[in-house]
């Protein structure tokens, strides 16, 4: 019973937060609703037995990315002018709804091979083992990408 309540309440929180990010006019409030959505998604990771990812979600998204976004809001536009829709909002809505129906059809009709094995309970150790053995090359490539992004951000801001 508890997983069902947890899933539906967290899912509702995540969807409402995301909807308010799109709907609300004040950009700063949109950032705060984004934080709410991120927190609900961290809770959803916990219901999926992904404890390390839930912690990483809180640290990276709720901690770092939202602070960066608030910095961006503060350093650019006047917050009160808000985030109006473009004049082409109707085709955008049509594309989004169409994509949702295609995705929902694929997800509900697809025969996914669901395994019955019990999931690992603390995932941090096994995740590190997989990450540094089987996926070590991808890990190194991603770290180089992160370094390149940091250098690129500094270079973009320094050039005047």
Partner 1 sequence: MPGLTEYLLLSAVLFTIGLYGALVKRNVVVVLMCVEIMLNAVNIAMVAFSRFVVPVELTGQVFAVFIMTVAAAEVALGLAIILALYAHRGTVDTTNIDLMKF
Q: According to CB under 8 A, which residues from 12 to 41 bind partner 1?
A: 14-15, 18-19, 21-22, 27, 30-31, 34, 37-38, 41
Residue 54, judged by CB atoms within 10 A of its CB (0-12, 13-18, 19+), counts as: buried
Q: In the bound complex, what is the minimum distance in angstroms from residue 44's beta carbon to partner 1?
A: 6
Among residue numbers 41 through 70, which ones bind partner 1 (CB under 8 A)?
A: 41, 44-45, 47-50, 52-53, 56-57, 60-61, 64-65, 68-69
Q: In the bound complex, what is the minimum distance in angstroms from residue 49's beta carbon to partner 1?
A: 6
- x/- contact string, 131-150, with partner 1 (CB under 8 A)? x---x--x---xx-xx-xxx
Other CB atoms within 10 A of residue 20 CB: 16
Q: In the bound complex, what is the minimum distance in angstroms from residue 23's beta carbon to partner 1?
A: 9
Non-local (6+) Cβ contacts of 49 within 8 A are 119, 120, 121, 123
Query: Residue 20 is encoded by which pair of tokens?
Result: 């308010």
Among residue numbers 77 through 96, which ones bind partner 1 (CB under 8 A)?
A: 77, 82-86, 88-89, 92-93, 95-96
- Nearest-angstrom CA–CA distance, 140 and 150: 16
Q: In the bound complex, what is the minimum distance in angstroms from residue 55's beta carbon to partner 1?
A: 11
Number of chain positions touching partner 1 (CB under 8 A):
87
Non-local (6+) Cβ contacts of 127 within 8 A are 52
Non-local (6+) Cβ contacts of 39 within 8 A are 13, 58, 62
Q: In the bound complex, what is the minimum distance in angstroms from residue 138's beta carbon to partner 1?
A: 6
């Amino acid at each position: 019973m508890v997983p069902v309540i947890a899933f539906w309440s967290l899912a509702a929180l995540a969807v409402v937060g995301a909807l308010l990010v799109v709907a609300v006019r004040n950009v700063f409030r949109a950032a705060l609703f984004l934080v709410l959505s991120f927190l609900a998604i961290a809770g959803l990771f916990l219901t999926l037995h992904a404890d390390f990812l839930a912690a990483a979600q809180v640290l990276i998204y709720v901690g770092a990315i939202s602070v960066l976004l608030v910095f961006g809001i503060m350093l650019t536009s006047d917050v009160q002018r808000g985030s109006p829709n473009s004049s082409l909002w109707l085709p955008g809505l049509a594309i989004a709804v169409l994509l949702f129906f295609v995705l929902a059809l694929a997800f509900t009709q697809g025969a996914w091979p669901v395994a019955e094995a019990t999931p690992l309970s603390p995932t941090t150790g096994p995740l590190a083992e997989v990450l540094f053995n089987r996926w070590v090359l991808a890990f190194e490539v991603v770290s180089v990408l992160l370094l390149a992004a940091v250098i690129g951000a500094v270079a973009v801001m320094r050039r005047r």
